[in-house]
Amino acid sequence: MNFPNAPQLRGMEAFPPPIKAVHRARIVNPQGPNDCDYHEDGGLAVRADGTVAAVGDFTLLAVAFADRYEVIDETKHGERPTIIPGMNDLHVHWVQNEVRGRFRNSLMPWLEEHIWPEEHRYADAQLADARAQTFFDELARHGTTVAAVYSSVHESALRAAFQHAAGRMVIGNVIMTSDFPPYLKQDPEEALAMTDRFAEEFGGSYAVTPRFAPSCSAEVLKAAGRIAKQRNVWVQTHLSENHDGTEHDEVELVRRLFPDAKSYTDVYARAGLLGRHTIMAHVIHASDEELDVLAQTGTCVAHCPTSNEALGSGRMPVERIRERGILYALGSDVGAGPSLSMLHVMQAYNRVHAGHADVSETEALYRGTLAGAEILGVDRVAGNLNRDKEATFAVLGSPGTRAYANPNHLLAEIFAGSQADLEAIVRKTYIAGRRVF
């Protein structure tokens, strides 16, 4: 996947850029699902071009680089803060930020009563611009620097999101050509023309975004799939979120609307919307056969444990996802999710799967950092703090001053905090060496 303006890797040239600063703090640096480097008294050396020169024990870095840099000692004021990579949010609706976590209901009534009326307000370009700035400022405040973002149906809202986005963002305007609801219904030709125009304009930072299968006809879904392939852009949508046996059951609604399809997943397969550049959110109630299709096509999954809890949607079967080697990372799913804090989402990930799957604190951190960068194809420059990547990271306030034997112990203490604690714990955020919060 081609991302515009992606920086070239540095450090192999004869004269690499000089060291600008060394940040001193605990450092937790994920390398894989259960592989994590940890430095109790760590140093992160950042070059003048915003890339990582080295990460390791502070004392060793001090000797290696002598006095050629500024030391930014994050440990002052009696704290022992922690540096982690910038976090990823693989599924977030920025146009729902003002009503996040406010309502507890099943999926379809919640959308009809609260979410769609809220998104309708984003036809106002001035409101959209102001709220986009607020949303992306909040992402930075929570240490999120990589995200897959849903906008509304409105062109002005999408442009506002791109204007204010910082970090590695993939953004798409939702396609809604059915009567769910009538006041957001788009003309199919106009919606597809706008999608194609944006895909050409924004390239690898754009996602073709059918809201979910019920919001589009089979013909519109197929046309959206063609656009995604022709323009080589991302696809993001929802799959099997709600199956509660009521009259509002999402999975049953899809069966009624698409009687020729074998399953919810098959609706997207027939439309050509599955593949390595597709992110399906939720995937809670998919059958084994559907999961096999996702695995065979390389389709990725955004796992949203906090919103699944909030709407009573159920637990994503992470053990069945893993068995098939399906790539997945965490998402907040704001507005159903109550918080933009990915640390809060990581906390929920460990809680909801305890007793069902083998999960750990370091894996939760991986799912909220490097895993998202790997899925979005930016792990050569983002996702962790390895040498020559962008120096994109968050500085967390300390849960205590004692030393920790390993990162699981430290992260467990961080995750023990309340939602309010986790929303306040990020003290600074840097993108490519530049402080943005």
Q: Which CATH number fits domain 19-85+384-435: 3.30.420.40, 1.10.3720.10, 1.10.760.10, 2.30.40.10?
A: 2.30.40.10
- pLDDT for res 5: 35
Q: How far is CA 267 from CA 180, 216, 253, 395, 413, in A?
A: 18, 11, 12, 43, 43
Angstrom distance (rounded) from CA 341 to CA 345: 7
Q: Which residues of 370-391 are buried (b: 16+ CB within 10 A; e: fewer)?
A: bbbbbbbbbbbbbbbbbebbbb
Q: Which of 157, 301, 163, 173 is nearest to 233 (CA)?
A: 173
Q: How far is CA 2 from CA 5, 8, 206, 423, in A?
A: 9, 13, 11, 33
Domain residues of the chain, as ranges?
19-85+384-435, 87-340
Angstrom distance (rounded) from CA 283 to CA 239: 5
Class of domain 87-340: alpha beta
pTM: 0.94
- Show the tokens assigned to 122: 């984003």
Which one-letter amino acid corresponds to residue 168?
R
How many CA atoms lie within 13 Å of 104's alpha carbon, on the beta-carbon side? 4
Please report, in tens digits, the pLDDT of each residue of the chain (437 residues total). 333 333 333 233 445 678 889 999 999 999 999 999 999 999 999 999 999 999 999 998 887 776 678 889 887 767 789 999 999 999 999 999 999 977 667 888 899 988 999 999 999 999 999 999 999 999 999 999 999 999 999 999 999 999 999 999 999 999 999 988 999 999 999 999 999 999 999 999 999 999 999 999 999 999 999 999 999 999 999 999 999 999 999 999 999 999 999 999 999 999 999 999 999 999 999 999 999 999 999 999 999 999 999 999 999 999 999 999 999 999 999 999 999 999 999 999 999 999 999 999 999 999 999 999 999 999 999 999 999 999 999 999 987 678 898 999 999 999 999 999 999 999 999 999 999 99
- pLDDT for res 85: 98
Angstrom distance (rounded) from CA 107 to CA 266: 21
Are the folds of 19-85+384-435 and 87-340 the same? no
Angstrom distance (rounded) from CA 23 to CA 69: 10
For β-strands 35-47 and 19-32, DSSP reports them as antiparallel
